[in-house]
């Protein structure tokens, strides 16, 4: 889903470069300690949400620890409340368990519902959602919800807000994320600046609770991986990440994003920052422990990543399993393909709800080569929850 970018905030963000410059890797895999994971970290170049490792955690929310979330329920003069707040809470509450599992327990959502309807001062159709909504309109919507709820709660105890509209408010159609503008007065309640909020729309009834995980990930600095143009919204990553298709068959976050978040430690990243080769034993990203991703850095902003995917956990409906290979480009803006899954010429044909891109996991004996960068990734062996790959860069 879309998040709204305040231009002044984007210009104010300073992104320090933390990634090391590419180096020539040794060919002997015994020298792993000479190739630390930091040599494959990439700096973001967009000045906003992207796949870089230098996210500004003044502008965005640190994706570690417990996030205390206040859930508000709002109705409108032209759309009175329908149903009990508890019903809406139960619809979205599973997002907390999903996030905890996805992060290996490193990020938790503590969601507290304010169990009453809060009446907004304007008609639902007046806020501009159906016309795309500007940052200023969106901030006004959040501010009005906060002001209306302030007599009933103390905002100082919470890190972010979930604002949930009644199902009768059809004009509140989609679910943008509010990211504050640090250069403006913004919204303050009980002495605390309101920095992050997810304002749910009626699309939550289609996407389900994972829309909360998707939108909360924007507050952590992640971009959208689906395409903003309507020719094929899911042409970049298919259903392999909920930042692409929220309802995808294997929606857990890609290993690269888990590394960016700090959910994967540096010692769980196998890095090939320059010419050379190495063999890597990967453990499925759906389960904790082991080496999670193998990265071949190809420039200051690009890398190929290989990870092991299995039909377990929240990915239990995965259309294909094996080694997923994708390209990361931290200079590409949200909605334009900052991550693109590599196609496998030997992939099986899609069936049922699966798309062609959902079938692209590589199997033992298959390999990927990019002649432009001299990268080859050979899949050698497979276990119940593991894959072994050989990385080479000429």
Q: What is the pLDDT of residues 322-334, one digit of tens each?
A: 999 999 999 999 9
- Report d(CA 43, CA 171) in Å as an integer: 39
pLDDT at 204 over 80: yes
Residue 108: inside a domain, yes or no?
Answer: yes
Residue 373: inside a domain, yes or no?
Answer: yes
Residue 380 belongs to domain spanning: 21-54+236-393
- Report d(CA 345, CA 354) in Å as an integer: 17
Q: 266 and 371: one domain?
A: yes
Residue 226: inside a domain, yes or no?
Answer: no
Mean pLDDT of 15-22: 28
What's the pLDDT at 11? Answer: 30
What's the pLDDT at 8? Answer: 32
Number of compact structural domains in the chain: 2
Residue in this structure with the two tokens 């991703």, named with its chain if needed: 293
Q: Are 54 and 146 in contact (CB under 8 A)?
A: no
What's the pLDDT at 35? Answer: 67
Residue 322: inside a domain, yes or no?
Answer: yes
Q: Could you tell me the two tokens for 195? A: 């920095």
Q: 214 and 69: one domain?
A: yes
Residues linked to residue 198 through DSSP beta bridges, in sequence order: 162, 177
In tens, the pLDDT along 65-81 reads 999 999 999 999 999 99
Mean pLDDT of 364-390: 98
Q: What is the CATH number of the domain that holds 105?
A: 3.40.390
pLDDT at 24 over 60: no
Q: 201 and 340: one domain?
A: no
Q: Are 178 and 185 in contact (CB under 8 A)?
A: no
What's the pLDDT at 33? Answer: 43
What's the pLDDT at 131? Answer: 78
In tens, the pLDDT along 137-165 reads 999 999 999 999 999 999 999 999 999 99
Q: Considering 219, 250, 274, which residue would you say is the last residue of a domain?
A: 219
pLDDT at 25 over 50: no
Residue 78: inside a domain, yes or no?
Answer: yes
Q: 76 and 138: one domain?
A: yes
Residue 260: inside a domain, yes or no?
Answer: yes
Residue 126: inside a domain, yes or no?
Answer: yes
pLDDT at 7 over 60: no
Q: 352 and 298: one domain?
A: yes
pLDDT at 32 over 70: no
Q: 211 and 282: one domain?
A: no
Q: Considering 178, 193, 219, which residue would you say is the last residue of a domain?
A: 219
Q: How confident is the model at residue 226 (pLDDT cuts 50, 70, 90)?
A: very high
Residues linked to residue 160 through DSSP beta bridges, in sequence order: 69
Lowest mean pLDDT among 22-36, 128-142, 361-375: 22-36
Q: Are 332 and 50 in contact (CB under 8 A)?
A: yes
Q: 194 and 93: one domain?
A: yes
pTM reported for the whole predicted model: 0.91
Q: 84 and 215: one domain?
A: yes
Q: 276 and 341: one domain?
A: yes
Q: How confident is the model at residue 132 (pLDDT cuts 50, 70, 90)?
A: confident
Nearest to 164 by CA among 214, 121, 113, 125: 113
Mean pLDDT of 91-111: 98
- Report d(CA 294, CA 292) in Å as an integer: 7
- Report d(CA 332, CA 158) in Å as an integer: 33
pLDDT at 391 over 70: yes
Q: 323 and 388: one domain?
A: yes
Lowest mean pLDDT among 24-38, 198-212, 231-245, 269-283: 24-38
Report CA-CA distances (Å) from 258 to 31, 163, 324.
25, 26, 15
Q: How confident is the model at residue 1 (pLDDT cuts 50, 70, 90)?
A: low
Q: Are 160 and 72 in contact (CB under 8 A)?
A: no
Q: 86 and 117: one domain?
A: yes
pLDDT at 276 over 70: yes
Residue 7: inside a domain, yes or no?
Answer: no
Q: 126 and 28: one domain?
A: no
Q: Could you tell me the two tokens for 28? A: 């002997």
Residue 308 CB contacts under 8 Å (≥ 6 apart), including other chains: 282, 283, 284, 285, 322, 323, 324, 385, 386, 387
Q: Considering 190, 219, 248, which residue would you say is the last residue of a domain?
A: 219
């Amino acid at each position: 889903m879309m998040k709204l970018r305040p231009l002044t905030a984007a210009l104010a963000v300073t992104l320090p470069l933390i990634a090391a410059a590419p180096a020539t890797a040794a060919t002997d895999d015994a020298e792993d300690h000479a190739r630390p994971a930091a040599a494959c970290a990439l700096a973001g170049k967009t000045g906003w949400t992207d796949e870089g490792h230098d996210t500004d955690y003044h502008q965005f929310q640190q994706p570690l620890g417990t996030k205390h979330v206040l859930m508000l329920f709002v109705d409108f003069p032209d759309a009175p409340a329908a149903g009990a707040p508890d019903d809406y809470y139960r619809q979205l509450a599973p997002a907390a368990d999903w996030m905890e599992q996805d992060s290996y327990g490193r990020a938790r959502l503590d969601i507290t519902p304010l169990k009453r309807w809060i009446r907004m001062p304007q008609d639902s159709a007046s806020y501009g959602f159906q016309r795309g909504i500007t940052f200023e309109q969106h901030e006004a919507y959040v501010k009005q919800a906060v002001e209306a709820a302030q007599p009933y709660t103390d905002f100082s105890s919470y890190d972010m807000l979930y604002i949930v509209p009644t199902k009768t408010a059809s004009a509140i159609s989609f679910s943008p994320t509010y990211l504050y503008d640090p250069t403006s007065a913004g919204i303050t309640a009980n002495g605390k600046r309101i920095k992050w909020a997810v304002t749910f729309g009626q699309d939550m009834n289609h996407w389900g609770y994972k829309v909360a995980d998707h939108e909360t990930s924007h507050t952590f600095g992640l971009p959208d991986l689906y395409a903003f143009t309507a020719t094929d919204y899911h042409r970049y990553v298919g259903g392999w990440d909920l930042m692409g298709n929220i309802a995808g068959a294997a929606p857990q976050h890609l290993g690269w994003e888990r590394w960016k978040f700090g959910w994967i430690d540096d010692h769980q990243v196998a890095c090939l920052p320059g010419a050379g080769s190495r063999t890597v034993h990967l453990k499925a990203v759906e389960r904790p422990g082991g080496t999670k991703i193998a990265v071949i850095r190809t420039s200051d902003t690009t890398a190929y990543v290989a990870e092991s995917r299995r039909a377990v956990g929240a990915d239990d409906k995965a259309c294909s399993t094996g080694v997923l290979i994708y390209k990361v480009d931290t200079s590409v803006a949200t909605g334009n393909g900052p991550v693109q899954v590599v196609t496998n010429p030997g992939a099986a044909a899609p069936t049922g709800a699966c798309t062609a891109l959902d079938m692209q996991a590589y199997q033992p004996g298959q390999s990927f080569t990019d002649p432009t960068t001299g990268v080859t990734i050979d899949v050698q062996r497979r276990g119940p929850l593991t894959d072994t790959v050989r990385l080479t860069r000429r």
